[in-house]
């Protein structure tokens, strides 16, 4: 594919000296010393292999108020509204400082796990209307794992 | 470009890495292997593409805490999508654009809480980062570390566009221009000329400082 490169050869356009590449390499080494990937993050990413969740259907994010909605005048800290969809099942979620509120559509009772990375999950129960409430908002990246009927669905990981 | 062509790449007993870096041509095969349950292939992907993901969060000037969360979100989501990615050989671009989108969301959320017209003020600058602390301390490295510090300082003070482009370009191993494009939302064709201009600007700053 033209326009791509695999290391640097086609970076050296006309007038692009050896000096430019040297300076870039020196800067790369500086980044390795002064701003490397923190070790704990490296470890977390390696361990994230366990989060593949092969049995669950993936519910993709189809609406995010942060991106898809206009800011509401006067509201300084509006709730984040999210919608995830996997086939027939969708999940509306509202995250605010007060916690997590959601509804399963079509309405049905469900078991919901709030996943927080590799930490233990919290369990919530959705009533017969499909509504569920969590007292505290998720901190850091989270995903919701839903069991309704015979189906298991997990939402895409998201940073709240 | 299809993932199939690289599948014959032997990975059993052969190092994934060359000089500590995953060869970009191996990425498609590593993704396939990881999707099939090969934890070592996954680890090689983290080693080869983690610095790119980190550079994207840093290029957007996120605070440490936000950069940590963006990095984790990108990898958690990549694990979820592992067996579903249509073009496994473009996993680097997938991760880079995921990290970009999440970084932009962080900035957008911050903007809603901070009513201001000045986009420069919207960036949450890392407070607790003290590069000097992380410089190697040994005497042997002292002279070199001074040069490194100068270089980094001048780099940090480049204009925002240059700083952002270079921060991603200097990920290790070096990202492809496709990946840089995905990381920053800029056209592949503009990267080469911008890179050249930015490196020259950096050199001019170093020369002015007498450190070239």
pLDDT, tens only, A101-134: 999 999 999 999 999 988 889 999 999 999 999 9
Higher-confidence position of B24 and B98: B98
Selecting from B39, B105, B188 the residue whose C-beta is nearest the C-beta of A67 gives B105
Residue A5 has pLDDT above 50, yes or no: no
Highest mean pLDDT among A50-59, A62-71, B103-112, B181-190: B181-190
Pairing of strands A99-105, A57-64: unpaired
For residue B51 the two structure tokens come to: 């610095």
Q: Does B150 touch chain A (CB under 8 A)?
A: no
Does the CB of A124 have a partner CB in chain B at under 8 Å? no
Pair A69, A26 in one domain: no
Which residues of chain A have a CB within 8 Å of the CB of B112?
66, 71, 76-78
Domain map (residue ranges) of chain B? 17-125+136-208
Token pair belonging to B199 = 């490196």
- Pairing relation of β-strands A110-116 and A131-134? unpaired
Considering the domain architecture, whether residues A39 and A64 belong to the same structural domain is answered as no
Is position A2 within any domain? no
User: A18 with A59, same domain?
Assistant: no
State the average pLDDT for chain B: 81
CB contact B69 to A (< 8 Å): yes
User: Which of A19, A34, A140 is best to mutate for the B interface (most B CBs within 10 A)?
Assistant: A34
pLDDT at position B140 is 59
Q: Same domain for A81 and A151?
A: yes
Q: Which has the minimum average pLDDT: A33-37, B72-76, B124-128?
A: B124-128
In a shared domain, residues A87 and A143 = yes
**Each residue's pLDDT tens digit, B15-58:** 333 334 567 779 999 999 999 999 999 999 999 999 999 999 99
Each residue's pLDDT tens digit, A137-151: 888 999 999 998 888
Task: Tell me: ipTM over 0.95.
Answer: no
**Location of structure tokens 């509006």:** A78
**pLDDT for residue B146:** 85
Rounded to 10 deg, the angle between the B64-81 and A39-47 helix axes is: 20
Q: What is the CATH number of the domain that holds A100?
A: 2.60.40
> Is A76 domain-assigned?
yes
B contacts of A53 (beta carbons < 8 Å): 80
A120 inside domain = yes
Residue A3 lies in a domain: no
pLDDT-derived band at B167 (thresholds 50, 70, 90) equals: very high
Across the interface, whether the CB atoms of A20 and B24 are under 8 A apart is answered: no
Kindly report, residue by residue over A40-94, the tens digit of the pLDDT: 999 999 999 999 888 899 999 999 999 888 766 666 678 899 999 999 899 999 9
- Structural domain contains residue A9: no
Please state the separation of Cα B73 from the chain's center in Å.
15
Write out the residue range of the structural domain in which residue A71 sits. Answer: 55-159
Q: What pTM did the predictor assign?
A: 0.82
Structure tokens given for A75: 């509201």
Q: Is B129 helix (H, G, I), strand (E, B) or coil?
A: coil
Contact status of A6 with chain B (Cβ, < 8 Å): yes
pLDDT at position A74, please? 65
What is the number of structural domains in chain A? 2
């Amino acid at each position: 594919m033209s326009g791509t490169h695999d290391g640097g050869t086609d970076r050296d356009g006309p007038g692009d000296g050896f000096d430019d590449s040297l300076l870039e390499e020196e800067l790369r080494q500086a980044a390795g010393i002064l701003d490397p990937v923190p070790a704990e993050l490296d470890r977390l990413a390696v361990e994230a292999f366990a989060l593949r969740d092969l049995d669950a259907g993936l519910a993709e994010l189809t609406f995010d108020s942060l991106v898809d909605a206009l800011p509401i005048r006067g509201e300084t800290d509006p709730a984040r509204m999210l919608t995830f969809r996997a086939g027939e099942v969708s999940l509306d979620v509202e995250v605010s400082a007060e916690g997590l509120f959601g509804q399963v559509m079509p309405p049905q009772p469900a078991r919901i796990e709030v996943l927080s990375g590799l930490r233990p999950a919290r369990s919530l129960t959705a009533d017969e209307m499909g509504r569920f409430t969590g007292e505290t908002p998720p901190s850091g990246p989270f995903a919701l794992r839903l069991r309704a009927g015979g189906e298991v669905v997990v939402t895409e990981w998201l940073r709240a | 470009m299809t993932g199939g062509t690289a599948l014959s790449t032997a990975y059993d007993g052969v190092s994934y890495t060359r000089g500590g870096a995953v060869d970009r041509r191996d990425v498609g095969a590593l993704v396939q292997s990881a999707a099939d349950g090969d934890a070592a292939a996954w680890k090689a992907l983290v080693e080869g593409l983690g610095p790119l993901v980190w550079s994207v969060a840093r290029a957007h000037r996120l605070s440490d805490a936000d950069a940590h969360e963006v990095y984790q979100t990108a990898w958690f989501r990549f694990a979820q999508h592992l067996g579903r990615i249509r073009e496994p050989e473009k996993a680097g671009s997938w991760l880079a654009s995921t990290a970009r989108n999440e970084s932009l969301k962080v900035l957008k959320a911050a903007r809603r809480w901070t009513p201001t017209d000045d986009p420069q003020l919207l960036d949450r600058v890392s407070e607790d980062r003290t590069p000097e602390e992380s410089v190697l301390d040994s005497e042997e490295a002292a002279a070199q570390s001074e040069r490194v510090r100068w270089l980094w300082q001048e780099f940090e003070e480049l204009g925002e566009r240059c700083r952002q482009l270079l921060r991603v370009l200097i990920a290790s191993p070096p990202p492809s221009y496709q990946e840089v494009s995905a990381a920053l939302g800029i056209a592949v064709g503009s990267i080469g000329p911008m890179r050249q201009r930015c490196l020259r600007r950096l050199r001019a700053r170093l020369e002015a400082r007498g450190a070239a």
